[in-house]
Amino acid sequence: MLTWFRDGHFSILRNLEVALLPFLFFVALLVWRSIYFGDLLPNPYYAKASGSDFAGILNPFGAGWSYILDGLRASGMVMAIPLVCLAFSDKLARISLTLAAVLTGHVIFVLWADGDWMGQFRFLMPVLPIVAILTAFGLSKIPLHTPRNWAGALFSIVIVIFSVDQIDSFEARPTTPLAVVSEIGSEFARVAELLDIEDPVLAHHDAGGISYDRSIRLVDLGGLVDRKIAKNMANRAFLEEYIFEDRQPHFIFGEINFAAASGFTEAEAFSRDYVPLVFDNRSIMNSALSHVRRQSVVEGDGLIVHRSEDSRIESVTVLNPERGG
Q: Is 27 contained in some domain?
A: no
**Number of structural domains, the chain?**
2
Mean pLDDT of 56-68: 83
Buried b (16+ CB within 10 A) or exposed e, 230-263: bbbbebbebbbbbbbeeeebbbbbbeeebbbebe
Question: In terms of domains, do 215 and 111 share one?
Answer: no
Q: Is 116 helix (H, G, I), strand (E, B) or coil?
A: coil
Question: In terms of domains, do 193 and 164 share one?
Answer: no
Distance between start and end Cα atoms, the chain: 70
94-112 and 12-37 are packed helices; what angle lies between their axes, rounded to 10 degrees?
40
Q: Is 97 contained in some domain?
A: yes
Inter-CA distances, 261 with 101, 224, 254, 258, Å: 37, 16, 11, 6
Question: In terms of domains, do 135 and 267 share one?
Answer: no
Note the pLDDT of residue 140.
Answer: 87
Question: In terms of domains, do 248 and 184 share one?
Answer: yes
Question: In terms of domains, do 159 and 186 share one?
Answer: no
Q: Where does 173-234 have alpha helices with state H?
A: 178-194, 208-213, 227-231
Note the pLDDT of residue 275.
Answer: 96
Mean pLDDT of 319-325: 68
Residue 190 has pLDDT above 70, yes or no: yes
Residue 325 has pLDDT above 50, yes or no: no
What does the DSSP 8-state code read for residue 244? I
Residue 196 has pLDDT above 50, yes or no: yes
Note the pLDDT of residue 93.
Answer: 66
Looking at per-residue pLDDT, the higher value among 36 and 245 belongs to: 245
Q: Is 277 helix (H, G, I), strand (E, B) or coil?
A: strand
Q: Is 300 contained in some domain?
A: yes
Question: In terms of domains, do 198 and 147 share one?
Answer: no
Note the pLDDT of residue 201.
Answer: 95
> Residue 226's domain spans which residues?
178-323
Question: In terms of domains, do 101 and 60 share one?
Answer: yes
Question: In terms of domains, do 272 and 188 share one?
Answer: yes
Domain boundary among 171, 195, 211: 171
What is the CB neighbour count within 10 angstroms for residue 171? 8
Mean pLDDT of 70-86: 88
Question: In terms of domains, do 232 and 106 share one?
Answer: no
Domain boundary among 171, 199, 234: 171
Question: In terms of domains, do 190 and 304 share one?
Answer: yes
